[in-house]
Amino acid sequence: MVTMSMEKIIFLLEEPSMKVFLEEFLPRFLPDLEYLCITHEGKQDLEKSIPRKLKAFRRGVFVIVRDNDGADCYFVKKRLMDLCKGGGQSDVLIRIVCQELESWYLGVMDVLADVYNRPRLTGLNRKAKYRNPDRLGSPSSELVKLIPEFRKIEGTRQMGTAMPLRETENFSISFQFFIKGVHQVINNMEIRKKARHSAMRQE
């Protein structure tokens, strides 16, 4: 069990569906995690907001999550990091979703099969096309082809509730990196907490 410090993780998100997902998934994944999700109206709104938010929240540890949507991941991440530095912080976790949030759902076809009662989806991740869902050009379109009744917000809520807690069960590499990154943020918070307690004992 993770013992949280006074610091809070602040997720800066591109749009509301990621918040819906995280607010269903995170309490299951890390029950003691203190966090805040702040949504924006798309990529431009998120990027304009970053320096201002980083200056405003000095007690928070930031995680920025943005869809790739066909852009170059390297340049997207570099631009976001430059914005973080402009806000006076460089110790920010940046995670790019390749290409969209729906790629995380397509990474667990067996879960989709159970949630939407689609037995034919079971085992689909073993096929070449879906073995790495991050490579799909439009995961959202692909998902609707497979499950026509899928609706973004309600579907996101269901997948946040059903998503496996072990990142290795998801074929989406960007999901795996997201989970590993959040774990690293928490580890760093714990290290800082122990260092502060040690310094207080020595005073």
User: Per the domain annotation, does 166 fall within a domain?
Assistant: yes
Residues spanned by the domain of 164? 8-202
Tell me if 120 sits within 8 A of 145, measured CB to CB.
Answer: no
**Cα separation of 6 and 88, whole Å?**
21
User: Per the domain annotation, does 134 fall within a domain?
Assistant: yes
pLDDT exceeds cutoff 80 at 70: yes
**pLDDT for res 5:** 40
User: Per the domain annotation, does 101 fall within a domain?
Assistant: yes
Q: What percent of the chain has pLDDT over 70?
A: 94
pLDDT in tens, 147-161: 999 999 999 999 999
User: Per the domain annotation, does 1 fall within a domain?
Assistant: no
User: Per the domain annotation, does 118 fall within a domain?
Assistant: yes
Taking the model in full, what pTM does it have?
Answer: 0.91
User: Per the domain annotation, does 136 fall within a domain?
Assistant: yes
User: Per the domain annotation, does 174 fall within a domain?
Assistant: yes
How many domains are there within the chain? Answer: 1
Q: What percent of the chain has pLDDT over 90?
A: 80
Q: Is the pLDDT higher at 73 or at 112? A: 112
User: Per the domain annotation, does 2 fall within a domain?
Assistant: no
